[in-house]
């Protein structure tokens, strides 16, 4: 356990717990005790950085992350993806106000892919990424001047071995952070990525998933060079496709009378209606990665394998290459999630929106 200073003495956290009754005998010692407990709680919380391109599913994933009492989200970093950074700034500010978490620092990142020549914004989330339903402005005091990649490097170095990195957008910021600090991955606790595909079926290109298709070079760098202490937990498109919400569950969610849920219902309104009328499923993407990070028991099936990204194919650029038979003779770099517990996943969603 770590050491804390108490009245010029180093006190082990285990010993400190046993000294609580003695500390509470005076008003002065009460203040010392509660100060120590608060400090201890902050130190014990899991430190999390979320790299995101806040569209509708990102918002729900962030709400889920912020609902975890044992998590301390130490930064949210923005990357070009679902919408432009200028819209993302408004989106994340509105979201943090709704969640009453405006103390979390937000850092603006890359406004284009690593090569600067790809923009796959589909309009699926509206022009502004949140369904084009808001016109009001909010205070943006949480937005910092420091670049996202630099902030990631600095925070991971500050909290070596403690940070969980969750990426739910294109991987440009992370690739740039690796270029700034090649040892970045070794300083992480772990890493969860929503992106890529394992069966060659794309959702914006014939063979590529959106986050990887937006910046294949960055995805290639991250998968091959991040190298965290344990394999990257990769939540691919196929896992998300089977973790969809049926419409009965979605309607039950709509009855939760919280500010957070009212917010998600607003930004989701048009997309959900279109899908329902078309008879399509309500697929959730980014929430799957956050759920996997919250509780490993949500993961029902996975396999470890070496994964890389195709960079040159005319039709396959951005597609994940899965070395099932170990032809490349490389150690597994990813824990690929195939299926999640639908029951546990839905419980996390309900809990986060209350």
Q: What is the pLDDT at residue 279?
A: 76
* Mean pLDDT across 294-319: 97
State pTM to two decimals. Answer: 0.87
Q: Is the per-residue pLDDT at 118 higher than 70?
A: no
Model confidence at 274, in pLDDT bands (50, 70, 90)? confident
215: left (phi over 0), alpha (psi -120 to 50) or beta: beta
Percent residues over pLDDT 70 in the chain: 86
Q: Is the per-residue pLDDT at 42 higher than 60?
A: no
Q: Active site residue: 53, 190, 215, 286, which one?
A: 53
Strand 3-6 and strand 9-12: the pairing is antiparallel
Model confidence at 126, in pLDDT bands (50, 70, 90)? confident
What tens digit of pLDDT does each residue of 218-261 get?
999 999 999 999 999 999 999 999 988 888 888 898 899 899 99
Q: Which domains does the chain have, with CATH numbers?
A: 3-40 (no CATH), 47-353 (3.90.245.10)
Model confidence at 16, in pLDDT bands (50, 70, 90)? very low
**Mean pLDDT for the chain overall:** 88
Model confidence at 39, in pLDDT bands (50, 70, 90)? low
Among 23-32, 140-149, 180-189, 314-323, which is the least confidently predicted range? 23-32
What tens digit of pLDDT does each residue of 147-205 get?
999 999 999 999 999 999 999 999 999 999 999 999 999 999 999 999 999 999 999 99
CA-CA distance, 337 to 224, in Å (whole number)?
18
Q: What is the pLDDT at residue 273?
A: 76
Query: Which two tokens mark 61?
Result: 């994933």
Q: Is the per-residue pLDDT at 7 higher than 80?
A: no
Query: Which tops the pLDDT comparison, 283 or 320?
Result: 320
Query: Which tops the pLDDT comparison, 11 or 306?
Result: 306
Q: What is the pLDDT at residue 11?
A: 37
Please give, one letter per residue, the 3-state secondary structure of the chain: CCEEEECCEEEEHHHHHHCHHHHCCCHHHHHHHHHHHHHHHHHHCEEEEEEECCCHHHHHHHHHHHCCCCEEEEEEEECCCCCCHHHHHHHHHHHHHHCCCCCCCEEECCCCCCCCCCCCCCCCCCCCCCCCCCCCCCCCCCEECCCHHHHHHHHHHHCCCCEEEEECCCCHHHHHHHHHCCCHHHHCCEEEEECCCCCCCCCCCCCCCHHHHHCHHHHHHHHHHCCCCCCEEEECHHHHHHCCECHHHHHHHCCCCCHHHHHHHHHHHHHHHHHHHHCCCECCCHHHHHHHHHCHHHEEEEEEECEEECCCCCCCCCCEEECCCCCCCCCCCEEEEEEECHHHHHHHHHHHHC
Q: What is the pLDDT at residue 36?
A: 54
Cα 196-96-89 angle, rounded to 5 deg: 65
Q: Is the per-residue pLDDT at 37 higher than 60?
A: no
Q: What is the pLDDT at residue 26?
A: 53
Is 53 a known active-site residue? yes
Best CA proximity match to 41, nearest among 13, 76, 8, 7: 13
Query: Which two tokens mark 300?
Result: 């029902």
Strand 3-6 and strand 143-144: the pairing is unpaired
Q: What is the pLDDT at residue 135?
A: 77
């Amino acid at each position: 356990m770590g050491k804390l200073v108490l009245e010029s003495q180093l006190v082990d956290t285990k010993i400190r717990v046993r000294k609580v009754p003695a500390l509470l005998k005076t008003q002065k010692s009460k203040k010392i005790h509660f100060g120590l407990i608060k400090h201890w709680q902050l130190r014990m919380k899991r430190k999390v950085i979320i790299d995101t391109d806040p569209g509708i599913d990102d918002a729900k994933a962030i709400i889920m992350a912020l609902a975890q009492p044992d998590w301390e989200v130490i930064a949210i970093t923005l990357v070009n993806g679902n919408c432009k950074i200028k819209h993302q700034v408004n989106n994340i500010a509105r979201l943090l106000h709704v969640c009453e978490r405006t103390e979390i620092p937000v850092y603006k990142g890359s406004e284009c892919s690593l090569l600067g020549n790809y923009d796959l914004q589909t309009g699926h989330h509206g022009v502004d990424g949140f369904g084009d339903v808001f016109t009001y402005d909010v205070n943006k005091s949480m937005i910092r001047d420091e670049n996202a990649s630099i902030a990631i490097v600095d925070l991971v170095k500050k909290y070596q071995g403690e940070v969980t990195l969750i990426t739910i957008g294109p991987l440009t910021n992370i690739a740039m952070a690796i270029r700034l600090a090649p040892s970045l991955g070794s300083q992480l606790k772990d890493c969860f990525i929503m992106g890529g595909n394992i069966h060659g079926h794309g959702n914006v290109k014939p063979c590529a998933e959106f986050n990887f298709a937006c910046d294949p070079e960055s995805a290639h760098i991250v998968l091959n060079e991040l190298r965290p202490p344990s394999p990257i937990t990769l939540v691919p498109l196929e896992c998300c496709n089977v973790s969809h919400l049926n419409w009965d569950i979605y309607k039950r969610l709509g009855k939760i009378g919280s500010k957070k849920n009212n917010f998600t219902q607003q930004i989701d309104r048009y997309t959900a209606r279109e899908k329902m009328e078309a008879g399509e499923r309500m697929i959730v993407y980014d929430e799957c990665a956050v759920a996997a990070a919250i509780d490993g028991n949500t993961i029902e099936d996975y396999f470890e394998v070496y994964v890389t990204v195709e960079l040159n194919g005319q039709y396959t650029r951005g597609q994940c290459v899965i070395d099932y038979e170990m032809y490349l003779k490389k150690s597994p770099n990813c824990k690929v999630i195939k299926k999640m517990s639908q029951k546990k996943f839905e419980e996390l969603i309900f809990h986060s929106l209350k």
